[in-house]
């Protein structure tokens, strides 16, 4: 026997209120999370702006050290102001008197700045300097692979990613990029 229409209406009314509460709760959770992300980004941006302002004042005073130029370049990279980042990182590299591992980080950051402004040949040169100074610098090898890939130098990109994998087996960035290049070359019958 079929349930009475009144019984079905009562069940539907009961479900409707519960579903509305679930939808409202879900909407509030999503909005709360989105609000948290926005506020967090605003605070990060404010902190970066304040750091850039303080560092800029020291640099404009004319007595900035290589470390301060490096810090300013790093801040500008995080703010995605790549031309200013490159300018400060070049000064840091020229003035650097510290150890070569730190200089390798400067060259890697400078290469990333060039890569972000699509100056790919300059980027590769900076990544080469970074790995010459610190041969085990996995991030620089990955970045060099990316730059060479963008230059359509697939052989060079594969070599960089393979070196990265020798240094860091299981490196997901290198594994994914290398398999993607091999898949593309196989599809084009160039491998």
Q: Does position 120 have pLDDT exceeding 60, yes or no?
A: yes
Q: What is the mean pLDDT of residues 98-109?
A: 91
* Nearest alpha-carbon partner for 3 in 17, 14, 12: 12
Looking at per-residue pLDDT, the higher value among 114 and 59 belongs to 114
Q: Does position 3 have pLDDT exceeding 70, yes or no?
A: no
**And the tokens for 54?**
């303080």
The number of residues making up the chain comes to 191
Range of lowest pLDDT (16-20, 97-101, 121-125, 130-134): 16-20
Give dist(CA 45, CA 49) in Å, integer. 6
pLDDT per residue as tens digits for the range 23-36:
888 888 999 988 88
- Residue 152 gets the label, from left (phi > 0), alpha (psi -120 to 50) or beta, of left
* Helix %, strand %, coil % of the chain (to 5): 85, 0, 15
Q: Does position 164 have pLDDT exceeding 80, yes or no?
A: yes
Percent of the chain having pLDDT more than 90? 50
Range of lowest pLDDT (24-33, 103-112, 172-181): 24-33
Residue carrying structure tokens 């009314």: 13
Give dist(CA 90, CA 86) in Å, integer. 6
């Amino acid at each position: 026997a079929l349930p009475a229409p009144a019984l079905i209406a009562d069940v539907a009314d009961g479900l409707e209120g519960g579903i509305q509460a679930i939808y409202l709760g879900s909407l509030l959770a999503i909005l709360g999370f989105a609000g948290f992300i926005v506020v967090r980004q605003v605070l990060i941006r404010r902190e970066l702006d304040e750091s850039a302002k303080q560092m800029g004042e020291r640099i404009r005073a004319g007595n900035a050290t290589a470390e301060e130029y490096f810090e300013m370049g790093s801040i500008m990279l995080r703010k995605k102001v790549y031309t200013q980042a490159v300018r400060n990182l070049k000064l840091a590299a020229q003035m650097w008197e510290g150890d070569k591992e730190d200089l390798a980080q400067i060259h890697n950051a400078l290469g990333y700045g060039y890569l972000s402004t699509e100056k790919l040949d300059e980027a590769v040169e900076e990544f080469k300097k970074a790995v010459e100074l610190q041969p085990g610098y996995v991030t620089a090898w990955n970045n060099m692979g990316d730059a060479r890939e963008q230059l359509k130098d697939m052989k060079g990109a594969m070599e960089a990613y393979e070196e990265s994998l020798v240094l860091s087996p299981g490196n997901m960035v290198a594994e994914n990029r290398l398999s993607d290049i091999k898949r593309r070359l196989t599809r084009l019958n160039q491998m």
